[in-house]
Amino acid sequence: MTEDAVEPQSSPSAVDLFCGAGGLACGLAERGFDVRLGSDVWKPAARTYVANFPDHTFAELDIRDLSASDIIAASGGTAPDLIAGGPPCQGFSSAGARSADDERNTLVGWYAKLAAEVLPPVVVFENVEGFLTASGGKFVLDLLDPLVEAGYTISLEKLNVANFGVPQLRKRVIAIAALGRLPQVLVPTRSAVGSPGVWRVGGGLPPTVTAGEALAQVGDLRDDPLSSVRPPGEMELERIRALGPGQTMRDLPERLQHASWTTRANRRVRDGRPTEKRGGAPIGLRRLRADEPSKAITGAATREFVHPTLDRTLTAREAAVLQTFPTEFQFLGTKSEIATMIGNAIPPRFAAELASAVRSTLLLPQGSTDPGIATFRATNAEAMSPALSRVVNTVERRYGLAHPELDLTQG
């Protein structure tokens, strides 16, 4: 082993930016990382993180007020082994209103430039799948340009956390950038069903935990404030009872649909196309299937996701368990703030597998790996959407591939 590689027995240092409640910190700690600094500007997330990780230094700052020297000082005077972060995704999340002008979108570029200034051996970026195609790929270039220019070799993949043991079908974009090393990609540990393309990964591996199995582990937590049940109203209870496994509000008879559902289903969007041409109205209530992973947990999960076998929506603790947070993890804030924190978090179990990939990367000797894109796996489907195809072509024209043998653009 060269002097530039991290010893297996050591605890690699890490900085967790946009840390939220601490899902990534959970996974990093599980795999032996020493998190020197956590940072987030949102007060409920800051309070929650500090309550669960009292030994971590915390900076309640906007990243635009955090300097490279601040990070280096918090890391003991040298660059940490890892800088990781997921800038807020609301500007381009498919689960919410999209806005190309949302100022939070610019945080992708701020994050990449700050990481490039600190120059840690590894940089990790995490975000929603909509990140890839938002504004024609602008934010992908905002991420890649500063890192490639600084000398990083980058692996960029769209993954489903269900393939890594999380009882949830949740697509995420992960970039691992390494200086002088080939970034090691995440290795699936489980097979999964229930979402397009997810079955193409992890063939022959044990199936991931189902929603029913995960929720059965919650147990009796009557003293846990996050386990309080929101009693449904009379009409909502009738709707819930009418939902079979996997069914949504779309499957309900018209008399049970929300009064606004028909209006929402037929409203026209900016280009004049009615919403039904785009798949209909929002799904609304959905009963989870006990025999499959949960659908992606969002901030609305406790209002819209119905328990697989009980006639009620999920509790906040159940949503957190489907995100793989331990049952003793504290969340501080209002009900709405807690729901948002849980929905925005990186699932700790997935974060642990990400941490393992980073450790494997750090253990490689530093060599002459060329800066650029080593891997760009944009989809596991047979074909790409036109929008995604254009982004892939733009990235490949702009950067080429540092390791053409690793071109995995279609999984």
Give pTM, 2 decimals.
0.90
Tokens of 143: 């991420």
CA–CA dist 332, 230 (Å, integer): 18
Q: Are 335 and 44 in contact (CB under 8 A)?
A: no
Q: Are 154 and 183 in contact (CB under 8 A)?
A: yes
**What mean pLDDT value characterizes the chain?**
88
Tokens of 250: 């779309």
Cα maximum dimension of the chain: 70
Confidence of residue 256 (pLDDT cuts 50, 70, 90): confident
pLDDT in tens, 77-109: 999 999 999 987 555 444 555 455 555 557 999
Sign of the C-alpha dihedral, residues 365, 181, 202, 317? positive
| pLDDT higher than 80, residue 178 | yes
For residue 258, which amino acid is it? H
| pLDDT higher than 70, residue 219 | yes
What are the structural domains, with CATH classification, of the chain? 13-207+347-406 (3.40.50.150), 211-344 (3.90.120)
Catalytic residues: 89
Q: Which of 310, 344, 339, 285 is nearest to 218 (CA)?
A: 310
Q: Are 312 and 306 in contact (CB under 8 A)?
A: yes
pLDDT in tens, 270-290: 555 555 555 455 578 999 999
Of the listed ranges 24-28, 41-45, 83-87, 216-220, the least confidently predicted one is 216-220
Tokens of 179: 């200086």
Tokens of 182: 């080939």
Q: Which of 180, 181, 119, 106 is nearest to 147 (CA)?
A: 119
Q: Can you give the pLDDT at residue 113?
A: 96
Confidence of residue 7 (pLDDT cuts 50, 70, 90): low
| 324 to 79, 102, 298, 343, 346: CA distances (angstroms) | 30, 30, 14, 12, 9
